[in-house]
Amino acid sequence: MFALGVLVGALASARPTAASPTRWGMARSETAFQEEAARLAAEQELLKQKLAQKKPLYEDPILRPASRVPKAIAILESAGAARSKSWYLRLVLGRCQHEVQRWSEAAALFESVARDPETPDVFRADALAELAIDYARLNRQEDEIEAYEVAVALEPHSSSRATMLANQAEAFMVTGDIARAIAGYRASLDSLLGWEAVVLAPTTLWSLGVALDRSGDLEGGLESVARARSYDPKDVRIGGASWFFVPDYDEAYFSALGHWQKAREQAGTTGQRGSPSGPDVRDPFGQPSLIEGRLAAYERAILAWKEFLARAPDRDHYVPVARARLKLAEKEYADFAKKVRTPTPIK
């Protein structure tokens, strides 16, 4: 699942005038003055945090400054932000709580922002999308699906809608509704503009591949993984910090399918319906490195299937599929290994 950039959104979103009291309002109300001062101080800490995250890659991580988010939380809490009438102050505190992985606290704040009639629709969409991610972390998939349903209707930007649709599809997949998951991933891909696909399509195509496989279409699943890698050959997006798996052991399922796609790719059959056996690998002019690479890819796929089955509870919707995939991967591996290790008879 793709996590939206919480702190980035907090700093990049235009803050409507109505979110801040006027100078006369602050003069008449000590609470309003304290809240505005807290907001300014907290957002300064978040800005410093964002700037600190842009340090050069060669910098020693031990020397990086500690997170400023806890300080921002302390500033906001001292001003009573959680009980504030200001939806924006609660939104900023919710984003901070999310950043430090206090999912329940963040969810409660985002719920209050989404319910507040004073919240502008564009910010209500943001709050609902972030609330949905907290619901995912809390394994509240039905609530997650509902939050995305409302958020998508309010969201004006195509890239954000595409992300929401893909994340909602993830929730459908967790609940076992594989048909709606596949439809959601495809709707997400269809809504992307050309330039957006480079960034957003890889993870959605990965998830679509897993969903297709779980629906019984292994070949379609491997083709979708291959398409994802046509955008992102090194799997940077699916392995990045903004992506997380629900449930966490699903990472092994994705890994198994990815290694299997690599094994098929070595045979030159990825993206083709038919036999995975590939060319005659005993050809004396063949490349031994490709043979060893394919063997290693099969071995990693088998290990990943075994890891998924070891970690997933028996009640998981996709354990039966994984068992069948493990048997098929072991058979393909054994057939291929026998073929490459059998001496070619001299004629």
pLDDT at 309 over 50: yes
Rounded to the nearest integer, the mean pLDDT of the chain is 84
38 pLDDT tier (thresholds 50, 70, 90): confident
Pinpoint the alpha helices (H) of 56-157: 69-78, 87-99, 103-115, 121-137, 141-154
| Digit-coded pLDDT (tens) for 169-193 | 999 999 999 999 999 999 999 999 8
- 3-state DSSP percent of the chain in helix, strand and coil, to 5: 70, 0, 30
Going by pLDDT thresholds of 50, 70 and 90, the confidence category of residue 323 is very high
CB atoms within 10 A of CB 300: 17
pLDDT for the residue 79: 86
Residue 36: which pLDDT band, with cuts at 50, 70 and 90? confident
Whether pLDDT at 10 is above 90: no
Question: Among 98, 85, 84, which residue's Cα sits nearest to residue 126?
Answer: 98
From the centroid of its chain, how far is CA 114? 23
Structure tokens at 87: 């939806």
The structure's pTM equals: 0.80
Higher per-residue pLDDT: 242 or 20: 242
pLDDT of 43 > 90? The answer is no
CATH class, domain 1-156, is: mainly alpha
CA angle 217, 219, 224 (to 5 degrees): 95
Write down the pLDDT at residue 345.
57
Q: Domain 166-234 adopts which CATH fold?
A: 1.25.40
Encode pLDDT of 240-268 as tens digits. 888 999 999 999 999 999 999 999 987 65
| Cis upstream peptide for 284 (omega within 30°) | no
Q: Tokens representing 66?
A: 């500690």
Domain boundaries, the chain: 1-156, 166-234, 245-347
Q: Regarding predicted confidence, which is higher, 64 or 52?
A: 52
Model confidence at 136: pLDDT above 70 = yes
